[in-house]
Copies of this chain bind each other. A is one copy, B any other.
Amino acid sequence: MTHRFFVEAEAIAEETAVLRGDQAHQIATVLRLRPGERVVLVRTGVETLIALEAVHPREVRGRVVERRAADAEPRAKLSLALPILRGEHSEQVVAAVTQLGVSRIVPFVSVRSVVRELAPAKRERWARIARESAETARRGLVPEIEGTVEWEGLFDVLAPLVLVAWEQETTRRLADALPPSRVLSLVIGPEGGLTAAEIELARERGAITVSLGRRNLRSETAAVASVAQVMAVLD
């Protein structure tokens, strides 16, 4: 399989490409690719096939062979509001939901959140995992990891329609609440659940509560399962 790299705008010109830094090191020293071999550079939904011409650990040069749209990007634009979970759970969720196709991840804290802030090192780790998972999944975009917000601010940054997964919602199922526009935001509660006041505020801001089924799911399972359901229906 051809190796894929997400790149910045300046890496690709009309007919040539230049990689430096980590990606040049990766190609020259780790993967040991040689002139004549091919890689795919990906940027904002476009894949550019490159034939390598000069390979050095500090600079890799190549020639553009072909451009095409990245065909694995979902038609749905899904933002996921994710509580910061204990241990490695958040990282596992970021990896899985990126593979499944989310556009954007918004970390938040609410009244019953056990972990109350996303340290800068941890946020960088989320971003690295998102990039690697998008490469694995052969996507055309890396989901943005937004800044952490409080519950009150969440509804300012989420695109409507906003669906909140809530264990006390028993009638409206996620699959029945999906908008035909294919643009939506999904909010998953923290380990301790959401409070009645938080649900009330969400409803005042236009959000709709949905059920993920009759079994009680942990936050990390709820996040992956609900994104999988949305993509199965909308994509």
Contact = CB atoms under 8 A, between A and B. Distances in A.
B224 A221 contact: yes
A13 interface: no
A220 B174 CA distance: 23
Interface stretch (A26-34, A145-153, A209-217): A209-217
A228 B231 contact: no
A84 to B, nearest CB: 18
Given A174-B232, A228-B229, A215 B92 contact: no
Contacts of A137: 215-217
B231 A213 contact: yes
A76 to B, nearest CB: 11
Interface string A183-218: 000000000000000000000000000000111111
Interface residues of A, number: 33
Contact of A232 (B96, B138, B213, B235): B213
A114 interface: no
Nearest to A221: B96
Nearest to A173: B232
Q: Which 10 A-B pairs have the closest CB atoms?
A: A225-B228, A137-B215, A96-B221, A228-B228, A72-B214, A72-B215, A229-B232, A99-B221, A99-B217, A137-B216
Given A214-B235, A225-B228, A226-B228, 12 more contacts: A71-B214, A74-B214, A96-B225, A99-B216, A100-B213, A136-B216, A137-B215, A213-B235, A224-B224, A224-B225, A228-B228, A229-B229
